[in-house]
Chains A and B, each alone.
Chain A
Amino acid sequence: MEVMKEVLDKEVVDRDGREMGRVDGILLDYQTGQPPRLKALLIGPTALGDRLHPRLGGFVRALEKRFGLDRDRPAQIDFAEIKDFEHKVRLRIRIGETAVEAVEQRLRALWLRLPGSR
């Protein structure tokens, strides 16, 4: 549980140091008779919404679905992929292996139509 406090809300970077967002939620694995086990990090506004209120999470989820941005979101990153979490949470994977950039990419397509975006 101490680890949970330690990583929640921290900045996450991929193996190349690219910013992936913040730890918006944590997925726990409950097995009867055993203490809960940390399963995965969650990155994405739905996880953040769920933390405040399930309804808000549901609203964000509906919004993502409406814009076709709900695939593999929020991104679930297995705890085994964490390299270290001293200053930031460093992962062993690349950002491209997850869906954390879906909104960024959608907006990028929009901005790329304007001069001066490159």
Chain B
Amino acid sequence: MRKIFNLALGVVTSIGGFVEAGSISTSVQAGAEFRFSLLWAVAAATLILAALTEMAGRAAAVGKRSMAAAVRERFGFHFQMVPLGAELVIDLLLLTAELGGAAIAVKLLTGVGFQWWVLPLAMIAWLLLWFGSFSVIEDGVGLLGVVTLSFVVAVWRLHPDPGPIVQGFVPSLPGQDLVRYAFLAISIVGATVSPYLLNFYSSGTIEEKLTQEDLWINRLTAFLGMGFGGVVSIGCLVTAAIVFGPHHVKVETYEQAAQMFVPVYGRWGVALFALSLGVGCFGAAVEIALNAGYTFGQAFGWTWGIDKKRRDVSRFVAAFTVVLLLAAAIATTGLDPLMITQISVALTVVIMPLVVLPFLVIMNEAEHVGAHTSGPVGNGLLAVLTILGALMALVVIPLEILGG
């Protein structure tokens, strides 16, 4: 019974953890500019993420090592510096974007400039990390994240014709703006398959002491949780497509994006959007900061864990504190959070092979995962997809910058 409860909780918290600055902004832009035709990208990205998180959890449950630890032991420190460095840069950018997104959400509710909210929000995030346990952080933030279901409810209230929506799940090429279309498809993948999620998920498996007997829980949580998370992103895209699509609006700020809830929820629309954005971004900010502590701790062999006494994990605490401070300092300068989000999600796809390929090698070795290695078909497919995605990103990002 307890396991069923944990499973349900895991699924609910995944929904909360899925939706954040990247997934909201890319879904809104895709819906507004290309109506339903990028839905396939959300679905594909969700499947890739679910497959990868399932592997990350399986490796941690069987091998008792998180991703960062396994990569250092398997490939050595020289090699590890490359994915580690790339991931930390992306995590810092993304954390800045999430803090900025949460601050914009408070601005939407209060009218006071977003820069003023960055430091207080970072402080609340730090206090949560300082005083909270893993379950308080994971479940608390995750349960609040249920508010993001408002994106799904919005679709239901708008009564769209299901035909074109279903068609959107079949990949197709647009009649115009091919570069922008490809750029948004890549951004959707980057926003969904965040590298921090993989190490966070594997660390969480160790924090929650899952073992080989619990692999079915891991599998169900990964696929159901990420699946439902994907449904929220789809809800966001479809709502934006119905509200903004006919007017050919190009959404360039969160303030503009918030307007998509007005035809659905009336005068509560902006507030509800702000709540969904704020909770999603804040939750992600807490997880990214915590993951910075995990990554440093595991790569360098420090004692780590959010359920340990803080005095026993001093370097781990210092790591998440410094990363949070750095991101808050950057966000306070007033750089546009949406722009930082766009940069970080696009770059994520470029660095993806560096993070995913070593991980796939580990998933093939009995030394790390015992008899629970991944099949060659799934591994091969994931490897090809990440390499193709990165190559495409390397072509499309410069074109988008030149054109935009």
A interface residues (Cβ-Cβ under 8 A, vs B)? 8-12, 19-22, 24, 43, 45, 48, 51-52, 103-105, 107-108, 110-112, 114, 116-118
B317/A111 in contact, CB under 8 A: yes
- Number of residue pairs A-B, CB distance < 8 angstroms: 58
Contact count band on B: 20 to 34
Instruction: Enumerate chain A residues within 8 angstroms of B78, measured Cβ to Cβ.
Output: 51-52
B311/A19 in contact, CB under 8 A: no
A21/B300 in contact, CB under 8 A: yes
Scan residues 273-326 of chain B and give those whose CB is less than 8 A from a CB of chain A: 300-303, 309-311, 314-315, 317-318
Give the shortest distance, in Å, between B347 (CB) and chain A (any CB).
23
Instruction: Enumerate chain A residues within 8 angstroms of B318, measured Cβ to Cβ.
Output: 107
Instruction: Enumerate chain B residues within 8 angstroms of A22, measured Cβ to Cβ.
Output: 72, 300-301
Instruction: Enumerate chain B residues within 8 angstroms of A105, measured Cβ to Cβ.
Output: 314
* SS of A interface (majority): mixed
**Alpha-carbon separation in the docked complex, A36 to B61 (Å):** 39
- B365 CB–A CB distance under 8 Å: no
User: Per a CB cutoff under 8 Å, which of B73, B77, B314 touches A51?
Assistant: B77
Instruction: Enumerate chain A residues within 8 angstroms of B72, measured Cβ to Cβ.
Output: 9, 22
B300/A112 in contact, CB under 8 A: no
**Alpha-carbon separation in the docked complex, A10 to B75 (Å):** 11
Q: Mark B56-80, 1 if CB is under 8 A from A, else 0.
A: 0000000000000100110011100
A104/B310 in contact, CB under 8 A: no
**Alpha-carbon separation in the docked complex, A9 to B78 (Å):** 10
Known: A8-B76, A9-B72, A118-B309. A107 touches B314 (CB 8 A): yes
Instruction: Enumerate chain B residues within 8 angstroms of A24, measured Cβ to Cβ.
Output: 77
B interface residues (Cβ-Cβ under 8 A, vs A)? 69, 72-73, 76-78, 81, 130-131, 300-303, 309-311, 314-315, 317-318
Give the shortest distance, in Å, between B239 (CB) and chain A (any CB).
41
**Alpha-carbon separation in the docked complex, A20 to B78 (Å):** 20
Known: A9-B76, A48-B77. A104 touches B301 (CB 8 A): no
A111/B73 in contact, CB under 8 A: no
**Alpha-carbon separation in the docked complex, A83 to B301 (Å):** 19
**Alpha-carbon separation in the docked complex, A19 to B314 (Å):** 13
- CB pairs A–B below 8 angstroms (22 shown): A9-B73, A11-B73, A11-B301, A20-B301, A21-B301, A22-B72, A22-B300, A22-B301, A48-B77, A48-B300, A51-B78, A52-B81, A104-B302, A104-B303, A104-B314, A107-B314, A111-B310, A111-B317, A116-B131, A117-B310, A117-B311, A118-B309
Known: A22-B301, A104-B302, A116-B130. A111 touches B77 (CB 8 A): no
Known: A10-B73, A19-B302, A22-B300. A108 touches B81 (CB 8 A): no
- Given contacts A111-B311, A111-B314, A116-B310, 9 further A-B pairs with CB under 8 A are A9-B73, A9-B77, A19-B303, A22-B301, A104-B303, A107-B314, A107-B318, A108-B314, A116-B130
**Alpha-carbon separation in the docked complex, A45 to B296 (Å):** 12
Known: A19-B302, A21-B300, A22-B301. A108 touches B311 (CB 8 A): yes
Residue of B nearest to A100 (CB): B301
B309/A117 in contact, CB under 8 A: yes
B315/A103 in contact, CB under 8 A: yes
B302/A21 in contact, CB under 8 A: yes
Give the shortest distance, in Å, between B325 (CB) and chain A (any CB).
14
Most buried by A among B78, B302, B311: B311
**Alpha-carbon separation in the docked complex, A105 to B303 (Å):** 12
Most buried by A among B72, B77, B81, B309: B77
Instruction: Enumerate chain B residues within 8 angstroms of A10, measured Cβ to Cβ.
Output: 73
Residue of B nearest to A24 (CB): B77
B77/A118 in contact, CB under 8 A: no
**Alpha-carbon separation in the docked complex, A85 to B295 (Å):** 23
Give the shortest distance, in Å, between A96 (CB) and chain B (any CB).
14
Most buried by A among B130, B301, B317, B318: B301
Residue of A nearest to B310 (CB): A117
Instruction: Enumerate chain A residues within 8 angstroms of B300, measured Cβ to Cβ.
Output: 21-22, 45, 48
Instruction: Enumerate chain B residues within 8 angstroms of A20, measured Cβ to Cβ.
Output: 301
Instruction: Enumerate chain A residues within 8 angstroms of B303, measured Cβ to Cβ.
Output: 19, 104
Most buried by B among A11, A103, A104, A105: A104
**Alpha-carbon separation in the docked complex, A110 to B315 (Å):** 11
